Amino acid sequence: MDNLTNLHLTDVLALQYNVMGELQRRGVSRSISKPVGQLAEYLFSGAVGWTVARSGGVTTATSAKGSRIRIRSRRVAARDAEANFTAIDEIDDESFDWVALAVFHQNWAVCRAAVMPVPLAQSLADPENGRLAFSDTILKVEGVFDATEMVTRQLARG
């Protein structure tokens, strides 16, 4: 096998995804999406300088000013698909100040990324099921910071 250190980050992720897909097909694994959240954490923290810590199954990013950020991510198959983030209404605005969302295409390119205050994210979520349909229109909402370009640049650094 080639030396993986010579591959770009997205090539390593694609290889990992294919291996996990095969493990799922063989019944060894239930999920192939594990690196999605960790990739978003890596990219946001590198792009913005946040510190990321994991405690009790919840990952919290902290800004230089002490703000607490909940990072959520999804990977979608279709080119312009919207990603549904579940349980946005359950993000405790006492524990988190901001929510950072990232959506990746199937080839791991950044589809869209944003940062917004938790109360704004909760207000944009469907009141019936707490889901936030994260499409391009969300990026135009006042108070939403479009982080797509910034996160894409961080991914390009590999």
Q: Based on the fold, state whether residues 18 and 60 are members of the same structural domain.
A: no
Q: Based on the fold, state whether residues 45 and 1 are members of the same structural domain.
A: no
Question: 3-class secondary structure for 69-80?
Answer: EEEEEEECCCCC
pLDDT band at 46 (very low <50, low <70, confident <90, very high): very high
- What is the CATH classification number for the domain harbouring 117? 3.40.1350
pLDDT tens sequence across 98-141? 999 999 988 889 999 999 999 999 999 888 888 888 989 999 99
Which structural domain, as residue segments, surrounds residue 13?
1-32
pLDDT tens sequence across 51-63? 998 776 677 899 9
Q: Based on the fold, state whether residues 15 and 40 are members of the same structural domain.
A: no
Residues 83-94, mean pLDDT to the nearest whole number: 71
Number of compact structural domains in the chain: 2
pLDDT tens sequence across 5-41? 888 888 888 888 888 888 778 876 666 666 788 889 9
Structure tokens at 106: 């199937």
Q: Based on the fold, state whether residues 75 and 120 are members of the same structural domain.
A: yes
Count of other CB atoms within 10 angstroms of residue 113: 28
